[in-house]
Amino acid sequence: MIKKIKAPILAVAAVFTLTGCDLLDVDNPNSLVEEDIQREAAANGVANGSLRLASGAIADVWEGPAVVSDELYWTGSRDAWGQLDQGFIDDPYNEFTDGAFPGFGQAVWMARNAVTILEGHVANNPGDADFARDLARAKMFRGMVLMVVGETQDDMTFSDKQEDGAPVGPAGMSGILDQAIAELDAAVSGFSTLGETDLATTATAIRARAKMSRVIWDVLNPSATVGTAIAMAAARTDAETVLASVGGSDWKYNLTFSAASTSNPMGSNVNSRGENQWDESLVENTGPGASGRTGVVTLGDPFTGGSDLAVSAALTQWGTGTYGPISIATERLMRLIVAEDALAGGNTGDFEAQINAIRDLDNADAAHDYTYAAGNEVEALTHHRRVNTLFMGLRLQDMYRWGITLAKWDPQSAALTAPGTMLPITIVECRANTTIGEANC
């Protein structure tokens, strides 16, 4: 009997012994492990991954401030958009800013990780142009995403996997913009060395924006102590460099979206779901369920009386689907930077020329050119900056610095009671980050 019992036990043991190891070692074809992405063959994918995450995150994180501002307003089912519409931008529990934060944080981390990995490849392969190009791209993407952090966040953390990073603190956010500029310096240098003039122009344009944002940050945070203030002229220099290359072409550096990569969250929310719509001061939404796709421009051009051509152009770029691009840097923005610096310097001729150069991009005829006159320069600047930077993540800061308020803002909202307030570190980070905790959010 013992023999009879032994046999099946031995059989079971044999199954374990002979097959156990192989059966338990299951390959995973769905994803890569850590060592895979450190390989040189993955270099381009790492840089592209950084771009992909930055694209989605920036489009996502910009929607909240756009709803707070006069770019979008809430028309859907989810009240947290309504909170933003009323100017409550500082609520860490807001589902949309909270929902956008993880992707934003991930994009920041991936941007740094990509630079680190590619720096290793470049160090191991000096002279390899492909690695150098990918590294310059990675630095440009990192500079770009750090720039957006500095523009849209009131505070930020920088963690690494399970190592929690402490909040930079509101005063430290200018340093983030400084880091962005430093990364973009490296990108410009890298592209220039490689002879990639178009990419160098792009990186320079982004740097111009970053420098301008650094200037604005100082305006909105006058008591800030971190970093060294940047002169407006520095931004102007970059802008002029860009204009020298692409002036007159209505050049844009856009983050683009498609079914092959990812969709634009703002486009999806506005064009498909109808959760938010273009502000009625810009576009009248016609039809029972229409949104921007069938809208009619309502904003008038202060100098022609007609509907604003730049809004029309922006509406065209926005498109009707969920894959409309968003602009990071444009010729229009470069000219606005030059114009604002010219105005600040009292060079009204240059200011007028830059404004008209922008208007020319929309085929405004000469009869409708802007003519400088004492007292109209503020309207000229604020109007043209508004309509030529639509959905570029800059409007709310501009409203703050120019003291523009909205009737839709609740008297108790941060937008009204504390101008300059941007997005907080949200509850998902507060809870997960041991250096913060929910009670301190």
Partner 1 sequence: MTFTTSARLTSGLLRGGLVLALAAMIGWAPAPVAAQATGTLVGTVRDAASQRPLEAVQVYLGGTGIGALTNAAGRFLLLNVPAGEATLIAEIVGYRSGTATVTVGAGQSVVQDFGLQQTAITLDEVVVTGAGIATEKRKLGNTIATLDAASLENAPIADFSQMIAGREPGVVALPSSGSTGEGAAIRIRGSSSLSQLNEPIIYVDGIRVDRSAVSLSGTGNPSRLDDIPPESIDRVEILKGAAAATLYGTEASNGVIQIFTKRGRAGAPQFTAQADWTGIRVPTNRILPVADYIGRDCSSAGCASAADVTKMNEYRSRMQNRFGVTPGDFENFENDLVTDVLGPGFGQIYSASVSGGSESFQYFVSGRYTDENGVITTDVFPETDGIDFSEDTNRRVGFTSNFTIIPTSKVRIGVSTLYSDMEQSTPDNGNNIYGFFSSMLMSQPRRATAMDGGNYYGAPAFGTTREFAYQFNQAASSHFAGSTTIGFTPTESFRLDGTFGLDFTSDDRVFGRPYGHAVDNFTNANRDGDRTVREDRSREITADLKGSHIATFGDNFENTLLFGGQGFLRQRQSAGGGGNTFPGPGLETLSALANQSASESWTRVTQLGGYLQDQVGINDWIFLTVGGRWDANSAFGEDFATAFYPKASASIVPSQGLGWQNDTFSTFRIRAALGKSGLQPDAFAKFTTYQPAPSEEGPGVSPANLGNNALRPEVSTEWEVGAELGLFNDRWSVDVTYWDRTVQDAMVSRQFSPTGGFTQQQLVNIGELAGKGFEASIRGTVLQREGLSLNVFANTAYLSENITSLGGAPPLKTGGSYPRYRNYLLEGYAPGSFFGAQIADVDVPLNLDGSCTAFTREAALATGSFDVPIKPSTFKPLAIGNSTGASVPNPGFDAADGSLASNNCGSGLLGTLLGKPTPDFAGSTGFNLSFASNFEIAALFDYKWGGQNQDLSGMFRKANAVIGRNTPRAAELGAIMQSPTSAPGDRLDAAIAWAREVEGLSPMSGLNGIFDTNMVRFRELSLTYRVPSDLVDGWGLSTATINLGARNLMLWLPGSDYTGMDPETNVIGRCNGGLSCNFLQATEGWALPIPRRFTLSTRVTF
Backbone angles phi, psi at 278, to 5 degrees: -55, 140
Site membership for partner 1, residue 74 (CB under 8 A): yes
Tokens describing residue 360? 């020319």
360-399 mask for partner 1 (x: CB under 8 A)? ----------------------------------------
From start to end of 184-308, where are the E strands? Answer: 252-255, 276-278, 283-284, 296-297
Tokens describing residue 331? 């010729």
Binder among 18, 39, 77, 231 for partner 1 (CB under 8 A): 77
Q: Which residues contact 257 (CB under 8 A, 6 or more apart)?
A: 55, 59, 263, 264, 267, 322, 323, 324, 325
Backbone angles phi, psi at 72, to 5 degrees: -130, 155
CB of 97 to partner 1, least distance (A): 9
CB of 199 to partner 1, least distance (A): 11
Give the range of 124-132, 242-250, 341-349, 427-435 binding partner 1 by CB under 8 A. Answer: 427-435
Site membership for partner 1, residue 163 (CB under 8 A): yes
CB of 242 to partner 1, least distance (A): 20
CB of 52 to partner 1, least distance (A): 4
Site membership for partner 1, residue 256 (CB under 8 A): yes
Site membership for partner 1, residue 405 (CB under 8 A): no
Site membership for partner 1, residue 429 (CB under 8 A): yes
Site membership for partner 1, residue 127 (CB under 8 A): no
CB of 57 to partner 1, least distance (A): 10
CB of 175 to partner 1, least distance (A): 16
CB of 296 to partner 1, least distance (A): 16
User: Contacts with partner 1 in 283-312 (CB under 8 A)?
Assistant: 287-291, 293
Burial (CB count within 10 angstroms: exposed 0-12, middle 13-18, buried 19+), residue 77:
exposed
Q: Which residues contact 330 (CB under 8 A, 6 or more apart)?
A: 205, 250, 251, 252, 253, 388, 389, 392
Site membership for partner 1, residue 257 (CB under 8 A): yes
The residue count for binding partner 1 (CB under 8 A) is 106
CB of 21 to partner 1, least distance (A): 5
Distance CA 312, CA 222 (A): 36
Distance CA 269, CA 139 (A): 30
Helix 43-68 vs helix 129-152: crossing angle, to nearest 10: 20
Could you give the maximum distance between any two Cα atoms of the chain, in Å? 111
Binder among 40, 90, 102, 319 for partner 1 (CB under 8 A): 102
Using the minimum distance from each CB to partner 1, give the nearer residue, 259 or 367. Answer: 259
Site membership for partner 1, residue 15 (CB under 8 A): yes
Site membership for partner 1, residue 169 (CB under 8 A): no
CB of 43 to partner 1, least distance (A): 11
Distance CA 58, CA 47 (A): 16
**Intra-chain end-to-end CA distance of the chain, in Å:** 70
Q: Which residues contact 302 (CB under 8 A, 6 or more apart)?
A: 379, 380, 383
Binder among 73, 101, 217, 303 for partner 1 (CB under 8 A): 101
Count of residues making up the chain: 441
Using the minimum distance from each CB to partner 1, give the nearer residue, 149 or 243. Answer: 149
Site membership for partner 1, residue 1 (CB under 8 A): yes
23-52 mask for partner 1 (x: CB under 8 A)? xxxx-xxxxxxx-xx----x-xxxxxxxxx
Helices (H), 275-376: 309-318, 331-344, 348-361
